[in-house]
Chain A
Amino acid sequence: MVHLYLYGLALILAGALAGAVLPARSRVSGAALLGSIGCTTTLIAATRMLLGGQASVYQTSTVLPFTGVQLSLDPLGALFIVVTAVLGIATSWYGVGYAGKIQRSRIETGMFPLFLACLMLVPVAAGVVTFMVAWELMAVTSFLLLLAEHRSRPEARDAAQWYAAMTQFGAAAILTGLVVLAAHAGSQSFAVIRLHALGLSLGVRSTVFLLVLIGFASKAGAVPLHVWLPRAHAEAASPVSALMSGAMVNLGIYGIIRVGNGLLGGGVLWWWLVVLAIGVASALYGAVQAVASSDLKRLLAFSTIDNIGLVLIGVGAAGALASTGHRLLSALAMLAALFHLTNHAAFKGCLFLAAGSVQHATGTRDLDRLGGLIQRMPVTALLFGIASLSISALPPFNGFASEWLLFQGLLHGFAAKSSITDMALLAGVGALALTGGLTAAAFVKALGIGFLGQARSSEASAAHEVAPSMISGMVLLVIPCVVLGIIPGVVLPALGRATDVGLGGTSAKSVRSGLGLSLSGLSGAIEPALLLLAVLAAIIFAWGILQLVTKLSSRGPARTIEAWGSGRALLTPKMEYTATSFAEPLQRVFVDVLRPSHDAEVTHVAESRYFEHEINYRLQIDDAIERSWYRPLVRYVMAWGNLARRVQNGSTHRYLAFGFVVLVAILVVLA
């Protein structure tokens, strides 16, 4: 099975080559074609693994010096490959229309499939060196993709800088942790490390766990290591944003599960309480920032932080319950986390692609300048709408199914009857409940302000529907939103196999197979398909009544008239609520978290100070954590950098002198 996977990977790499060498006209489509065929191949391999294949290993002593390459495809890794592959196909198709007539550089078109290949390589890496090489290649390729449009948008440079700094910091932490493990085991292979890790003292294991947690949490975008994410995901080209948000952040979660539960064997309670606490903080902070944001892609990026927080709550609860010996409850929480991760990839991928379509059609992603797009981009509006309802966890879409499962995982966790886990789980439920309402508000804003009402700018009123290839990419991602929402039971066996591996190989069946969700051994079930039928029946009944009433009153069909303007004759789009004004009440409620800065500038008319000529009001909501924690750090680093400049003045003589002094110093020390 791993061989089929490798053929797929080879095809994707061929796509990268095609993107780099083909002539400009066929570059994008060639890369997309080979890339999507390759993704389909890996998708088939990974799906077969999830449905009951035996874990299979591939080793070669070539490619990398000294250690060679170790790959192992197991159900946990396969789940992440499936998610990445589907996103890969969708973004490749989408990319064809997105590139449009603009000439794309060889580096950009070649780098995209390469990034995809790296995303798929990380979950199968079975050795420290292989893992780190794949991990760093993923960082480098995504960094270059992020910079692709830096000429036209200088903000991308700033974003890329933040991304590079955070991701390298994280990678250093992960590498340190893994090297400690490898040194102890005497081998860099994951399988050997796993056998020896329990021989380490708890102190060392805890240090290693915290190190890799820092690294993986920064890749996952968990608070407070999230600062790069809202910038990078907002500034990257939309297909890249979709891959970053739907697939790359997942690998942070993958790392925590693989190392924490796998290599380190589960550990102790407080590890997972830390994970859960990070999850709660991320969920709440992400949700609050998403509500306040009026930049569509920034809103989506913060909502990624929110959803990653929910996943971390599930992973943390699962680890905590496992370390206190509750395997079944633990399996339920882990299953819920993985299910939500999968669902998040589908709806967030679609939302980012749709945001890209909006940007493509209007040239802006500022919600305050959009509006009325449902009239001009009906298909995009519909797809964005479905994905918005999914992410708001409204039935019958997939977000509802996984959040229900997560809720059940936390609720039944109370059965563990330990006061520490009780409080942690309660915090998890509280965060789940709070983010539920806030996410709904954020996406009512995104959908209602962006797509409904009247156009707020000339760009928005001149929008057009996007190319069919872009729509096909979005449709591919909306299908799982609907299918996994209505019949969530169909994917549970596969997710169950991934959960078993994730929790360290023991099998605990927490959910019965079926179309709906039904917990096994615990009380709790939902049948979304039947609920949907009931709602549809009720809608049709209400519609029938409406028709009947219209017929009986014999007043004819609905008439369209002017909207009520409180007596004013003209109702202009300027009078509409904007995204900023929509979010204003919630922004006031969470003023301590958001800490917005605003100022008003009033200029008076020349004749009299009593009449205002113009009022300029500015409201800026930036990342409060970045401002209060990272800015001082950056200033500190800069100050040291300035000191270093004094030593480094560009004179070759001085550098030669430094070299001489150091050499002498070394000789003195050695002597």
Chain B
Amino acid sequence: MIAGASSSGLGAAIGASLLQLFAVALGGPLLMGLMVKIRARAEGRKGPPIRQPLLDLRKLAGKERIHSEHTSNVFFVAPLVFVASIAVAIAISPLATTTPVLSRSADLFVIVFLILTGSVALALAGLDSGTAFGGMGSSRAMTIGALAEPALLVAMLALSIQTQSSNLPEIVSATLAHPGWIASPERPLAFVALLIVVIAETGRIPVDNPSTHLELTMVHEAMILEYAGPELGLVLLGQAMRLGFLFALVANLFFPWGIASNSNPTGLLLGIALLGAKSVILAVAVTLIEISSAKLRLFRVPELLTGGFVLAVLAVVTGLVTR
């Protein structure tokens, strides 16, 4: 269980983590592409190819680096911190295996605050640009983030009551050992709460519209409006990784089957493949929600998130009563 027990064990754990990181960095943009594709098809359009987000990243990488005036180093460092924080969350979480590197520290509190770190970095960058759009985006993103975070933390707490641990690999392993838990009443409640949070944190409809450029409605797009070229690519990659990570994590917390319990290559590859399948199913589900709903007014979003928080609290209460 403890990473670093032997040097080969540590090496294997690092290898597994890098594999997870690579898979999510590649899979996240593809999931985004898939969601755009499904939406286009449902609307009777052909839509861009699924690998379009990857092509966009390549295009942005070839562009000139441009900083707007008034910006400080914060503007430059923020995308790096954003991507790095999400990358570390991916590397240490139980995605392909329950034994990635630093899995002892893969606490749900750590993951939640790593995600928050990325959000704070981008929000500061939005304000750093010194424009109306940047500030507006930051304000809205922090509003949504501040309300989504408690729902996220409490929903994950519901899962950690049975195991008496907030360590994610332990939660996943315990669910594997007790398959009956999946039918316990708090799980569906926690699942719906987490789904709401994931939609908010990844900026999907009905919380935010990833394809809008209308100032009345945009949240995330406004915050990163001043980014261009490779730095914009970095931000977009980070967003895609966050989406892939949250889908994968939610999938594994509720349906952990297929995850490897060690770092041997065949198990890992199987774990990655099944993880991909689970994430695709979740992505399809989220897209169906997106297609069938309209974007909420910004001031209605807190009601949705409060609903998520209440569901999460109910999940914990149910868990406490039925244990």
Contact = CB atoms under 8 A, between A and B. Distances in A.
A411 B166 contact: yes
Contact of B128 (A437, A448, A556, A560): A448
Contacts, number: 267
A525 interface: yes
B64 interface: yes
B167 interface: yes
A528 B105 CA distance: 8
B135 A440 contact: no
Interface string B94-134: 00000001101101011011101101100110111111111
Interface in A417-435: 419, 422-423, 426, 429-430, 432-434
Given A571-B131, A582-B139, A440 B116 contact: yes
A495 B226 CA distance: 46
Given A395-B110, A559-B67, A414 B105 contact: no
A339 to B, nearest CB: 15
Contacts of B128: 448, 452-453
Contacts of A522: 164-165
B139 A581 contact: yes
A576 B120 CA distance: 19
Nearest to A439: B146
B154 interface: yes
Contacts of B104: 525-527
A523 B165 contact: yes
Contacts of B153: 429, 432-433, 436
Contacts of B30: none
Given A523-B167, A526-B107, A452 B127 contact: yes
A411 B130 contact: no
Given A555-B64, A576-B135, A444 B320 contact: no
A541 to B, nearest CB: 8
Contacts of A468: none
Nearest to B238: A542
Interface stretch (A228-236, A242-250, A562-570, A645-653): A562-570
Instruction: Classify chain B's interface size.
Output: 35 or more
A563 B69 contact: yes
Interface in A37-92: none
Contact of A535 (B61, B67, B85, B321): B85
A534 B124 contact: no
A389 B233 CA distance: 26
Q: Is the interface of B mostly helix, strand, loop or mixed?
A: helix
Interface string B60-97: 01111111111010100001110111011001100000
A61 B203 CA distance: 69
B81 to A, nearest CB: 7
Interface string B278-313: 000000000000000000001100100000000001
A474 to B, nearest CB: 19
A371 B150 CA distance: 30
Interface in A538-566: 538-539, 541-543, 545-546, 549-550, 552-553, 555-566
A437 B150 contact: yes
A37 to B, nearest CB: 38
Interface in A500-536: 516, 522-528, 530-531, 534-536
A586 interface: yes
Contacts of B116: 392, 394, 436-437, 440
Contacts of A524: 107, 165-167
B105 A535 contact: no
B160 A394 contact: no
A438 interface: yes
B74 A549 contact: no
Contacts of B110: 395, 404, 526, 531
A564 B68 contact: yes
Nearest to B152: A433
Interface of A: 291, 371-372, 374-375, 389, 392-395, 400, 403-404, 407-408, 411-412, 414-415, 419, 422-423, 426, 429-430, 432-434, 436-438, 440-441, 444-445, 447-449, 452-454, 516, 522-528, 530-531, 534-536, 538-539, 541-543, 545-546, 549-550, 552-553, 555-566, 571, 573, 575-578, 581-586, 588-589
A-B pairs with the 9 shortest C-beta distances? A577-B135, A448-B127, A437-B146, A538-B84, A433-B150, A453-B130, A523-B165, A437-B149, A558-B65
Given A395-B114, A444-B142, A564-B68, 6 more contacts: A395-B117, A437-B116, A525-B167, A546-B231, A577-B132, A582-B135
28 contacts: A374-B72, A389-B120, A393-B113, A394-B113, A408-B166, A411-B166, A419-B320, A426-B316, A430-B150, A433-B150, A434-B150, A440-B149, A447-B124, A452-B127, A452-B130, A454-B70, A524-B107, A531-B88, A534-B88, A545-B234, A553-B230, A559-B66, A561-B68, A563-B68, A563-B130, A571-B131, A581-B135, A589-B143
